[in-house]
Structure formats: C-alpha cells, structure tokens
Chains A and B, each alone.
Chain A
Amino acid sequence: MTFYITVAISIAISSIAVLGTFMLTGMNGLFSLGQAAFMGLGAYATAILVVNYGLPFPLAILIAIALAISLAFFVGYATLRIRQDFFALATFGFGQAMIALLTETVTITGGAMGFSNIPRLTSPALAFISLAIAIFFVWGFRRSHFGKDSLAIRSNELAAEVEGINAFKHKMIVFVISAGFAAYAGALMAFHISYVEPATYGWILSVTWIIIVFFGGRDSLTGTVIGAIILLAAPEALRFTTAWRILVYCVIILLIINLRPRGLFGTWEISLKPFLRFFKSKKQQEAK
C-alpha cells in the first residue's frame, strides 16, 4: 500500500511540472528543452538551503522559486524576441549548463554522486493539495483574458501584436510562471525521494513533459492531467524490463499522435454541467 502512495505522490509532483509545460508549450507554443533544469534547480536549491543552512522548508522553497524565476527571466530576455528555434536552443543550452554546474560544484552539491539524506518533508497531503491548487491555477489562467491572449499569440503572433498584445512581455510572464512551477515540483520531489542527482534533469525529461502534453491534448487541461497520470504511471504498470516498457510507451505515443493528432482528449474538458443537467431533468420528471 505504501508503495502505491509513494508512486502516486511522485506522479502528483511531476504533474505540477507538466502543468507548467502545458501553459508554456501547449498554450503558448514555446518549446523549452531546459524545463527539467528548473526542476533540478528547485530540488537542489531547496535541499541545500534546508540541509546545509538549516532554513525552514517553506522559506527555502520560496528562495528556490525566486532563483528559478530570475534565471528564466535571463534566458527569456535574450531569446523571446527572436524566432522560436532560438528559444528552444537557448533553453536547451541552459539545461546543459545547469547540469554541468550542479555536477562540477562537488563541494556544495555532491557532484555526479548526487545529494542525499534529505529529510522526507513532503507529506501526501502537501503533494496532492499542491497539485489541486496548480490545476485550479491553470484552469483560471485558461479562462482569463490573459490566457486567451496566449492562444492568440500561439496561432498568429503578428496578428496578436496588431490587436495590442505585447507578445514579448506575455511570453516572458508565461515562461517565468512555468519555470516557477517546475522549481516548486523539484523542491517537493527532492523532499519526497530524499535524494537528487544532476543527470535526472536532462533535456530528455523536458521532452517527456512536452510529449505528455501532446499525448493528452494540448487544448485540453483534463487531457493533460489524465495524460500525465497515464504516462507517468505506465512505467510502473508495465512491469517487464525497463527497456521494453519504454519501447512500448514510445509506440503508444506514436500511435496516438498519428491517429489522433489533437491528443487523446482533443478539446474535451471535464465539466459539471452534464451532471447538473441530469439531476435537473430528474427533478423535473419527479415534479411531473
């Protein structure tokens, strides 16, 4: 039973980072190949601040998020004005640089051996409530005027700018928020598995999150969350050797993208309306 809870917590935490990618890649169409590095940064910064400097956990998380946001601002400032390939490239370079720094500063981070003995401060409640708040935030983001601007920029940046949207500022805000999401997820993850190592946070992890978003459907928040749960749980559920299960996972993704290009859920969202309508009609029948 504890095994399932541990796995469920890991999935919930990773889903928070995936939600950051959903806003950035799904809604704004920006491909960040360094998103996982922000998670690594969050994990390391929080762990070092708590273990080595004895800071309280919440304060350490806030500092880690602030750090991730300022670095995201730096990367974004250089690249968000120019073509999207450059953004992908710069975030990729950032990710590699981050891993190199974490590996090289052996005295602080423990280098390639990783940083261990982190207290397990992430309770199940903290993880699940964080995920719920994150989902609620993204839901509100999508319904807001700001979120609608995102979709406008995604489909045609020039037209969006003509409408008076400051695309650079807009993309910067979204990038910074998504980096904050990743850093927060990293902090929770470090204090959940009590161990961090740099190699985990390479560009392949960032790409995995992008795949998850497209698998579930980039126009569907429900799809992204369910897609995250399915794909993050799949490696645990398919219990044959690691190599084969990743192979199967890749084949499934190829099938989904080929057969349902808009993702598993398309634009479908879960909503309470059908239930309400159902109950209403029942009441009316009873009244008759």
Chain B
Amino acid sequence: MGVPMQFSIILQQVVNGLSLGAVYALIAVGFALIFNVLKFSNFAHGGVLGISAYAGYIAANQFKLPLIPVILVGMVTGAILAVLVELIAFRWIRLQKGQLVYFFVTSVTMLMLLEQVLIIRFGASFESYPYTLVKVRVLQFGDVTISVTYLLSLISTIIAFSGLIYVLKKTKIGIAIRAASNDLTATSLMGINVNMVIIAAFIVSGMLGGLSGVLYGISASLSPQIGQIVVKGFIASVLGGLGSLTGVAVAAVVLGVLEVFLISTIGSGLSPVVIFLLMVVFLLVRPHGFAGVSFSDKA
C-alpha cells in the first residue's frame, strides 16, 4: 500500500514541477530573446509580465471574458507594453551608441516603475483571477490528482513554443531576428532595417511575457510584486547558457521541477539556500551553462 502511494505523490510533484517549469520557461525565453539581440539582461520584462497579468485579470473580472480571450488580452498588452519599453528606455541609448551597462540600469528602473504603476492602481493587496475562469479545477487519474490550471500552463507553453519555433525558423522576420542575434551590425549591413527587427523581437518577447503573466496569475495569485518573478527567467537564462533558447527552456523546466521538489522536502523557507549552493556547484562544473559551447564564440 505504502509504495504506490509514494509513487503517486512523486508523479504529482513531477507534474506540478513541470507546469511551474513551463511558466518559467516562457518567462526565460522571452527574457533570453532580448538578450540574444541586444546583449543585455532585460529586467523590464518582469514589469511587462506584471502589467499584462493584471490586464488579463481586469478582462476576466470586470468584462467577464472567457479563458482564451483573457489570455489574448494578456498577450496583446504584453506586446504593446514591450514596444513602449523599447521606445522609452532603450532606443535613445542605442541611437547614442551607449554602453550595455546603461541598458541594464534603465531596464531595472523600468521594472520598478511598472511595479509602482500597479501599486498605485491596485494597492499592495493580493488579487486572484475569478474562480469560474477555469470550470473544472482538478482531474483525477487513479491516485494522481492534477490541477487543470497546471495542465493549462503546460499545454499553453507547448503551443506557444511551437508557434515561436515556427516564427523563428520559417518566417522572414524570425530569420531576421536570428540574424540580428548573431551580429547586429552585419545584419544592418545586409540591408535589413535593424530597428524593425528589434521592435519585432520586443513584440514576440512581450507576447511570451504576457502569456506567462496570465498563466502565473491563474495558477498562483496576483500582487504588484509579481514582476519580480522575472528573476526566475534570469536564473534559467544564465544557467541555460544565454544565447541558446533551447538550453534556456531546459534550464527553466529543471529549475521549476527542482523548486517544487525542494519545497515539498525541506520547505519553501530554506530552498533558496539549496538553490544557491547547487548553482555555485553547477557553475564550477559547467562554467558555460547547459548549452555553453555553442555560445562561447558569440560572447
């Protein structure tokens, strides 16, 4: 009796971990996409994610929209906001050929600013998406209970990544984004309008951010500090070897599973300590991340 019980608990934790990892992967890929093109850590992505999550919340709560339109509202908001962030915080510095460090400073400032907008509008309290948004809450498979919201994250992530792979591999703008990731100057010398490519990258990244915000909001809760979850994307991006989107997604899923596992064994309090120690060990063993070798020539 005891053994199958244990197994079902482990299986459930794995599913929970995978779905959390899926949301982290969405965040991390949106974050890494901008890193690839402009070579700086875009913390403003967290602000975009946060505002989109709240936009989805308003759509669901006040306009009573069903699930799919709510997700779309989040994604559109994310895309618009990401472009605004580019225009306000990054474009001017880029035109002046400012150093990369300035992008870092403005991106963190943008994160704080967008967070403040949420605090002004919603106060410091916690909100949650209406319960009716996802009609069936759990699915029962024998001993294993799977939350539908978790399943939703998993499926949406798979759809979003399929779309992303299609865009990056098959469409002209996707190929231009990949070219720009390789070498921005050479891309512009080939007659490609680099500003348009960067805007496109921000739109794609914003859509991913908006999606991850809404999904995270549905499966957890909303607070103005939701944007700070971007650091999970940051961790996964660096460990995955910035530059390789696949490596980044894998690292994010590993991080999600690891977090769920740690929380169920030693509790949420001490898990940052273990994650830090594992991170240091990982960096000593694989100093270039999961997919480091392919990136070292670009550094």
Binding site for B on A (CB under 8 A): 29, 31, 75, 78-79, 81-83, 85-86, 88-90, 92-94, 96-97, 99-101, 103-104, 203-204, 207, 210-211, 214, 243-244, 246-247, 250-251, 253-254, 257-258, 261
Contact = CB atoms under 8 A, between A and B. Distances in A.
Nearest to B90: A258
Closest 7 CB pairs of A and B: A97-B276, A250-B113, A93-B276, A100-B272, A96-B272, A97-B273, A82-B287
- The A interface, classified by DSSP as helix, strand, loop or mixed, is helix
Contacts of B101: 29, 31, 214
Contacts of B93: 257-258, 261
23 contacts: A31-B101, A31-B104, A75-B280, A78-B283, A79-B280, A85-B238, A85-B242, A86-B287, A90-B283, A92-B231, A93-B275, A100-B271, A100-B273, A101-B273, A203-B231, A204-B228, A210-B105, A247-B120, A250-B113, A254-B109, A254-B110, A257-B106, A261-B93
Contact of A261 (B98, B272, B284): B98
A99 B276 CA distance: 12
B235 interface: yes
A89 B96 contact: no
Contacts of B273: 97, 100-101
B25 to A, nearest CB: 17
Given A246-B116, A251-B113, A89 B284 contact: no
Nearest to A78: B280
Interface residues on B, range: 35 or more
Contacts, number: 114
Nearest to B239: A89
Nearest to B118: A243
Nearest to A89: B238
Given A100-B272, A211-B109, A254-B113, A93 B279 contact: yes
Nearest to B280: A78
A92 B231 CA distance: 9
A61 to B, nearest CB: 25
B102 interface: yes
Contacts of B271: 100
B237 to A, nearest CB: 8
Contact of A83 (B109, B228, B299): B299
A41 to B, nearest CB: 14
A139 to B, nearest CB: 23
A161 to B, nearest CB: 16
Contacts of A211: 105, 108-109
B105 A214 contact: yes
Contacts of A86: 238, 283, 287
